[in-house]
Amino acid sequence: MSTTTTATTTNLWGGGKSPFNVEYGKLMMWYFLMSDAFTFGAFLISYGTIRFSTNGWPDPNEVFRSFPFAAEGVHAPLVFVSVMTFILIISSVTMVLAVQAGQNMDKKAVVRNLILTIIGGIAFLSCQAWEWNHLFHEGAWWGRNPFMNADGTASSTNFTNYFFTITGFHGFHVFSGVIINIIMLIMTLADKFEQRGHYLMIEKAGLYWHFVDLVWVFVFTCFYLI
Amino acid sequence: MSNEAVLHDNHSHEHAHHDTFITKYVFSQDHKMIAKQFLITGMIWAVLGGFMSVLFRLQLGYPDSSFPWMEDLLGKWAKGGHITPEAYYALVTTHGTVLVFFVLTAGLSGTFANFLIPLQIGARDMASPFMNMLSYWFFFAASIIMMSSFFVQTGPFSGGWTAYPPLSALGDASPGSKSGMDLWIISMALFVVSSLLGGLNYIATILNMRTKGMSMTRLPLTIWALFFTAVLGVLSFPVLLSGFILLIFDRNFGTSFYLSDIFVNGVGALPNEGGSAILFQHLFWFLGHPEVYIILLPAMGMVSEILSVNSRKPIFGYMAMIGSLFAIAILAFLVWAHHMFVTGLNPFLGSVFVLLTLLIAVPSAIKVFNWLTTLWRGNIRFTPGMLFAIGFVSLFISGGLTGIWLGNSALDIHLHDTYFVVAHFHIVMGVASMFGMFAGIYHWFPKMYGKYLNNTLGYIHFWVTIAGAYMIFWPMHYEGLAGMPRRYYDFSIWESFKQFQDLNRFISVVSIMVFAVQLLFLFNFFYSIFKGRKVTTLNPWKSNTLEWTTPINPGHGNWVGEIPEVYRWPYDYGKDGVDFTPQTTPVGEEESQH
């Protein structure tokens, strides 16, 4: 038994085939995501460094308490961002379904789930646009911070600087993901993947999409929860 | 299922033979052509960067003389034949940026990773030839933008290649901080994209595209070195990109990521508060230190290969060589703060970084001793490539020893930002990697162009360069120990540094001579491409690796017919009394074990 295992491992790494049994594009996507994780990591660590060397920071429950179409004075701390997060996570679920449908060569289901994923992505981006717009009208922008620290002292502009830069950078990733998914949808509708005999491209787009969702979990935690 | 894609990709290149001039020489997807594009662009940058150093060495060597030709060349930047302080800083900055990123990263990795990876692992081309082409063209765009920054009215960026804020973050800080800096950042951002596209490709190619029998422990050490180089690049450049994005916001959108409590003469106090200039240094050096190894590792890999081939002996300690490359790659990420000992770093943290820094001496020493023991009692052929490889080992030892001084946080208080640092990193990383690059060019030129470089010119090139490199940088150690700071425009006003005036002039004269010899090399290079002695045998160096099993001038797809299968490691030199046994030779029944 053990000899067989050794033989297989040697073969896998012995050249002439992919050791992970994946084609190069998927491998590259994984390495790209590792690289991108370092980009976000650098952003979030910078944010942490500045935040914890600053005396006081605004309370997210106070800052993020608005909800669209709600009456003036209604405070709903973190409710809206919870909705956003829920939308993004659901879009990850539909992406998984699209990938699985691709593995089953089920074109109809791929199209349906891709469309749902795209809608989820656009909904998330719209929510973010509303939130940014709302904050802008409250006087917040790069270099401007109208909010007070939790203890009532004046707050550093780095609260808004980091908020807009990092959520903006994440939003840019979601936007790219939506574009990629639209391209995937067009290619699916044009029967490109049926002709190739596999839906590997959808899997790669899926990897990217899940990564963007995963990053949001960290961004969400760092800016809204802590 | 997924492997079919790989195989399919392998075969599709064989049939692409309808090349026009544009697809063959300009937007080529052939890894060998892309390698040559990287090499020649890198050479142009090397000449420009080297010439910049000649200009500022003239200022340091002859602060009181004027050179009318300089005014003709540089106009207002050299009023009265005397280089201005602003121009001096711009030259120093651009020299550093260009040599570190454009010559020794793109020019070195770009050339040899592209050229050697498919040839030495037995692949028809890179995993994604298209991305590979994009990688070059992003580099090309970065080059054009960097070059255009020389021509803006306020001049190129002049705050040092490390681009520390506030000089890089405030447009008012210096003339070069205005549009010159904007162009610098854009150029570097494109460069990061180029290096990412290249790096992803190198890793995927090495892991996925090896020919049958080419297991990881049968890879030539060049490939191992290029593999770790690519990993370092893919994981460290994104952090620089984050740092640059924050810097762009600081420059253009009124943020205070790196700025706090600043007063600018003539402008007044700035509103920025809460930021930290040290933060940028952390982000920068998280790339900056791995960058040193991105520059050094390809040279190490090529030197290992060339030393073994030309000593007609197996490389000593093959597994130890891989292990030490791995150790260096890991440690590269854990030592960045040794560039920041005097920034007010917590001394305890400093001592941790001292320990980790000094640990690098261990894998480095393993490599040096393995190179020396490879040479030991070898049947050495002193080709120009071999001389440069031996020169690399010499420079790596000399420069590495001063690294032990500088890695010590207590000594660094005295030595930081002096000429001691300049001497250290020029020898260990700059000149040494240059030597690795030259060794690679001399050694693989027959494969690149089907011609030999002229040996006599090669010997002249080597001896003048190695003697010159030591004559330039050895005295700088003494200047640095005496406290002479780097990046200063003029030392003649300090009594304590007047003693070095003659020495500075000596260094300047030698640097001009060394620069002239590099032009001789360029002549040799371009003359030999067209008029050089033709290569007539498939395997001129009697080498074991796969690239010498291709035709003398391999086409796109490298091998005619099947890709050869590999049966052994690449270092069977002198085994069982046989001079060399190529990797494609099956293991005989009588053969001894190694």
Give the pLDDT confidence of B373-389 residue by residue, as tens digits. 999 999 999 999 999 99
User: Which residue is closest to B279 within chain A, CA to CA?
Assistant: A46
How close does chain B come to A159, measured CA to CA in Å? 10
How many Å apart are CA B434 and CA B108, to the nearest integer? 9
Concatenating the DSSP letter of every residue in chain A gives: -HHHHHHHHHHHHSSSS-TTS--HHHHHHHHHHHHHHHHHHHHHHHHHHHHHTSS----HHHHS---TTPPTT---TTHHHHHHHHHHHHHHHHHHHHHHHHHTT-HHHHHHHHHHHHHHHHHHHHHHHHHHHHHHHTT-BTTB--PBPTTSSB--THHHHHHHHHHHHHHHHHHHHHHHHHHHHHHHHTTHHHHHT--HHHHHHHHHHHHHHHHHHHHHIIIII-
Give the pLDDT confidence of A27-70 residue by residue, as tens digits. 999 999 999 999 999 999 999 999 999 888 999 988 998 888 87
User: Which residue is closest to A16 within chain B, CA to CA?
Assistant: B212
CATH of the domain at A89: 1.20.120.80
A201 and A178 Cβ atoms separated by less than 8 Å: no
Window from A183-197, B73-87, B215-229 with minimum mean pLDDT = B73-87
Element holding B464 (H helix, E strand): helix B455-481
B291 and B100 Cβ atoms separated by less than 8 Å: yes
Question: With bands split at pLDDT 50, 70 and 90, how would you rate the model's confidence at A74?
Answer: confident
Concatenating the DSSP letter of every residue in B141-173 gives: HHHHHHHHGGGSTT-S--STTTT-TTTTT-TTS
**pLDDT > 80? residue A1:** no
User: Which residue is closest to B123 within chain A, CA to CA?
Assistant: A16
**pLDDT > 70? residue B14:** no
Average pLDDT, chain B: 92
Chain B residues with CB-CB distance to A165 below 8 A: 245-246, 249, 255
**pLDDT > 70? residue A2:** no
Q: Which residues of A touch B (CB under 8 A)?
A: 10, 13-28, 31-32, 34-36, 38-43, 46, 49-50, 53-54, 142-144, 156-158, 161-162, 165, 169, 198, 200
CB contact under 8 A, A142 and B249: yes
| pTM for the structure as a whole | 0.93
Give yes or no for a cis peptide into B166 (omega within 30° of 0): yes
Q: Is residue A139 assigned to a domain?
A: yes
Average pLDDT, chain A: 91
Q: What average pLDDT score do residues B553-573 get? A: 92
| C-alpha of B365 from chain center | 21
Q: Which CATH number fits domain B31-259+272-577: 1.10.540.10, 3.30.420.40, 2.40.160.20, 1.20.210.10?
A: 1.20.210.10
Disruptive mutation site among A8, A157, A160 for chain B (greatest number of B CBs within 10 Å): A157
CB atoms within 10 A of CB A221: 11
Give the pLDDT confidence of B237-292 residue by residue, as tens digits. 999 999 999 999 999 998 999 999 888 888 888 888 889 999 999 999 999 999 99
Between A19, A42, A158, which is nearest B238 by CB? A42
**b/e map B152-184, b = 16+ CB within 10 Å:** bebbbbbbbbbbbbbbbbbbebbbbbbbbbbbb
The most confident of the ranges B19-23, B27-31, B507-511, B556-560 is: B507-511
How close does chain B come to A69, measured CA to CA in Å? 31
pLDDT cut 90: percent of chain A above it:
76
How many Å apart are CA B546 and CA B529, to the nearest integer? 23
How many Å apart are CA B545 and CA B266, to the nearest integer? 64
**pLDDT > 70? residue A140:** yes
Give the pLDDT confidence of B38-71 residue by residue, as tens digits. 999 999 999 999 999 999 999 999 998 889 999 9
User: Which residue is closest to B192 within chain A, CA to CA?
Assistant: A35
CB atoms within 10 A of CB B567: 17
Task: Tell me the torsion sign for CA atoms B70, B75, B77, B82.
Answer: positive
User: Which residue is closest to B271 within chain A, CA to CA?
Assistant: A143
Q: Which of B229, B223, B227, B212 is nearest to B122 (CA)?
A: B212
CB contact under 8 A, B205 and A15: no
> DSSP code of B536?
-
CB contact under 8 A, A24 and B255: no
Q: Which amino acid is at B82?
A: H
Question: With bands split at pLDDT 50, 70 and 90, how would you rate the model's confidence at A76?
Answer: confident
* Tokens 């300690």, located at residue: B317
Contacts of B55 (CB under 8 A, 6+ apart): B70, B74, B83, B91
> What local confidence, expressed as pLDDT, does residue A13 receive?
85
Disruptive mutation site among B6, B120, B218, B242 for chain A (greatest number of A CBs within 10 Å): B242
Q: What is the 3-state secondary structure (H, E, C) of A161-194?
A: HHHHHHHHHHHHHHHHHHHHHHHHHHHHHCCHHH
How many Å apart are CA B390 and CA B387, to the nearest integer? 5
Q: Which residue has the higher pLDDT, A23 or B92?
A: B92
Q: Is residue A8 assigned to a domain?
A: no
> What local confidence, expressed as pLDDT, does residue B80 receive?
87
Q: Does B252 touch chain A (CB under 8 A)?
A: no
Count of structural domains within chain A: 1
Between B201, B204, B234, which is nearest A34 by CB? B234
CB contact under 8 A, A161 and B3: no
Chain A residues with CB-CB distance to B249 below 8 A: 142, 161, 165
ipTM of the complex: 0.92
Chain A residues with CB-CB distance to B127 below 8 A: 24-25, 27-28
Q: Does B155 touch chain A (CB under 8 A)?
A: no
A33 is in which domain, residue-wise? 24-225
Q: Is residue A12 assigned to a domain?
A: no
Question: With bands split at pLDDT 50, 70 and 90, how would you rate the model's confidence at B11?
Answer: very low
Question: With bands split at pLDDT 50, 70 and 90, how would you rate the model's confidence at B18?
Answer: low
CB contact under 8 A, A157 and B273: yes
Q: Is residue A19 assigned to a domain?
A: no
CB contact under 8 A, B255 and A31: no
> DSSP code of B263?
E
Window from A175-179, B166-170, B450-454 with minimum mean pLDDT = B166-170
Q: Is residue A10 assigned to a domain?
A: no
Q: Does B203 touch chain A (CB under 8 A)?
A: yes
Chain B residues with CB-CB distance to A157 below 8 A: 255-256, 273-274
CB contact under 8 A, B566 and A143: no
B368 and B397 Cβ atoms separated by less than 8 Å: yes
Domain ranges of chain B: 31-259+272-577
